Structure 1
Amino acid sequence: MNFIILLITFILMEGATWLIHKYVMHGLLWGLHRDHHDHSTKGPFENNDFFFVIFALPAIALMYYGSINHYNYFFYVGLGITLYGMAYFLVHDIFIHQRIKWLDNTQNPYLLAIRRAHKQHHKHINKENGECFGFLYVPLKYFRMYYKKSK
């Protein structure tokens, strides 16, 4: 049952990410997210990187509370959020934005579609007229672009 809780949390995080990205990061907290779009911050870190801390705090709290209560479901919800965050970091920061060179020459249609959808998201420097706010879900039009080429 704990694995099911973890898996459902991981899957639900995609919807939460879409909502938070569109309405909070491109809304109320645009000031923190802006430098991710306009690349105005110099150096290896962006103000946008504070979102890792913001999202980690509830996950840590859930895991802590769940662990002192005999590893109840709160722990596994927090763990699911943490695993999603790790996947986000690997795919978004390392693969898509190449903060560390990794899989830069992939021909995998799904990975290419993720990268393309994210490029479409970054076409809009401002918070208006955005698209592709998700992370692991790729609109089919991008997936089809690369799936046809790989056959």
Structure 2
Amino acid sequence: MSASDNGRAVAGSETIFFTRTYDEALDLVREARTYLAGRGKEDVRHLPVEANFGYAAESLRLTTRLTEGMAWLLYQRALQAEEITAAEAQKEECHLQHLEICLPEEPVCDPAILPEGLQSLLERSERLYQRLLRLDQQGQEAYRRANS
């Protein structure tokens, strides 16, 4: 990969790490889509009425995490491909923004009442989102240090 505007070449290991993370996120998006459009519809029919709100709320949390995570990864891909500058990548819309939704203090319901398929997707999407958040914060801090 070519050197960026500030002269720093992107190391091969960083590119491999990014590609694996991007692929993991995309696979999780596909899996969530398949689950929510298929098995999830069947699973929700068997839930007690009081669990329906929790299922709906946590499904929305899942899709919000994945959508925001993929958007962040696409901005990072654009940055690596030099389609945007490091300064442009500091705009608010280029960062993870919905922490209160994606990483709530308390879940809407007891996760144990949710179907196993949704529980698994929620757990894995949360781990991915937390990892992306750490990377986003590290990137912002590195940019601040480099430009102070």
**TM-score bracket relative to the smaller structure:** 0.3 to 0.5
- TM-score normalised by the chain length of structure 1: 0.38
